[in-house]
Amino acid sequence: MSRILVGIDLGATNIKIGCFDSDLKLLCKTSVPTRTDMSPEQLVETMGQTAEELLAENRMSAKDVAAVGIGAPGPSILDEGIIINSPNMPLFKNVPLRKMVGERFGTPAVLENDANAACWGEYVLGAGRDVNDMVFFTLGTGIGGGVIVDGKLVHGFADNAAELGHIIIYPNGRLCGCGQKGCAEAYASATSTAARAAEAVEAGQQSSLKKVLHENGRITSRDVYEHLAAGDSLARRITDQTAETLAILCINVLHATEPQRIVFAGGMIAAGDILLNRIRDFFDRHIWKMKKENVQICFATLGEDAGIIGAAALAKRAENPAKLHSKS
């Protein structure tokens, strides 16, 4: 075993680390909690030690690591491998993470935005493995995005492309955490779906979710979809707006880069077909009549491993720059 690729997914709660062979077959994986008070040096040392232990437990040597890929949140200068700042790590300011990780592992390293890394994972091995043009959404606390045009991740002029959750769907609508009003994220993330339900219950609307809010002190998007399945009419109205928002978001990205496939990922897709079919219904209702659209709207297939798979796939490209835009 001499060509191990390491994929790292730096998340708000966990650092996920996976080891892959050169065909991107997952050999082993682990995760350690992220601490928000970590310094960049502590984080990189944690990554290094955790990876070494994982390799040793699986009878591999750190010397066999060929390259490391990292998916990380926050604005970055990707070409230089620098994280400008991180929403969850207050000590991170202009951190040259790629260089630090490369030195710790003694290998080439590559830094990518976390949503882009997960998008690339789905593109290479998951729901987009047979297409060249894809758009990717993660439905979680926010709505993350990734755009692949002709086999390449779109990074944009200053590495801030594909902030698709902040496409404005309802001008002057709900305030988003980003400061805009009416963003898709303010309606259709898992968090916003749950928040709209809680607000409606608190405003006195009738719903079986009232008991949930009373007993648990909160409503989750999972609660909303469970009560939808049980026939609650408020849950229907709330989830219809989620699906309609996502459908219009699909139409808007379709008219921008015309992907062959639009892939939804993230915690909220656990809701299943009741969510996916409703997005497709609203898409059909709102889409133009100029031509029949054949874009495929589907769910991701790699689950939580998409980030480490994508990071490892990007590491493979870092190891061999000639393959920079190849899936293999």
Residue 166 sits in the site that holds a second copy (CB under 8 A): yes
Residue 204 sits in the site that holds a second copy (CB under 8 A): no
The strand pairing partners of 262, in sequence order, are 135, 297
Binder to a second copy among 14, 22, 58, 257 (CB under 8 A)? 257
Stretches 1-9, 12-20, 131-139, 231-239: which one binds a second copy (CB under 8 A)? 131-139
Beta carbons within 8 Å of 272's beta carbon, 6+ residues apart? none
Closer by beta carbon to a second copy, 60 or else 143:
143
What is the rounded distance in angstroms from the CA atom of residue 158 to the CA atom of residue 144?
17
Contact between 166 and 180 under an 8 Å Cβ cutoff? The reply is: yes
3 state DSSP class of 144:
strand
Residue 160 sits in the site that holds a second copy (CB under 8 A): yes
Residue 154 sits in the site that holds a second copy (CB under 8 A): yes
What is the rounded distance in angstroms from the CA atom of residue 186 to the CA atom of residue 293?
27
Q: Which residues from 11-70 bind a second copy, rule CB under 8 A? A: none
Q: In whole angstroms, how close is the CB of 156 to a second copy at the nearest point?
A: 2
Q: In whole angstroms, how close is the CB of 180 to a second copy at the nearest point?
A: 5
Stretches 19-27, 34-42, 97-105, 284-292: which one binds a second copy (CB under 8 A)? 284-292
Residue 155 sits in the site that holds a second copy (CB under 8 A): yes
Q: In whole angstroms, how close is the CB of 161 to a second copy at the nearest point?
A: 4
3 state DSSP class of 155:
coil
Q: In whole angstroms, how close is the CB of 321 to a second copy at the nearest point?
A: 16
Q: In whole angstroms, how close is the CB of 46 to a second copy at the nearest point?
A: 28
Kindly provide the b/e burial profile for residues 123-138, where b requires at least 16 CB atoms within 10 angstroms of the residue's own CB. Answer: bbbbbbeeeebbbbbb
Closer by beta carbon to a second copy, 6 or else 279:
279
Beta carbons within 8 Å of 139's beta carbon, 6+ residues apart? 188, 189, 190, 246, 264, 265, 266, 267, 268, 269
Closer by beta carbon to a second copy, 179 or else 217:
179
3 state DSSP class of 204:
coil
Residue 158 sits in the site that holds a second copy (CB under 8 A): yes
Residues in the chain: 328
Q: Which residues from 65-94 bind a second copy, rule CB under 8 A? A: 75
| DSSP calls for 87-136 | SS-TT-EEE-HHHHHHHHHTS-EEEEEHHHHHHHHHHHHSTTTT-S-EEE
Q: Which residues from 167-196 bind a second copy, rule CB under 8 A? A: 167-171, 176, 178-181
Closer by beta carbon to a second copy, 202 or else 288:
288
Residue 132 sits in the site that holds a second copy (CB under 8 A): yes
Beta carbons within 8 Å of 251's beta carbon, 6+ residues apart? 283, 286, 287
Binding site for a second copy (CB under 8 A): 75, 131-133, 147, 149-150, 152, 154-164, 166-171, 176, 178-181, 244, 248, 251-253, 255-260, 286-291, 294-295
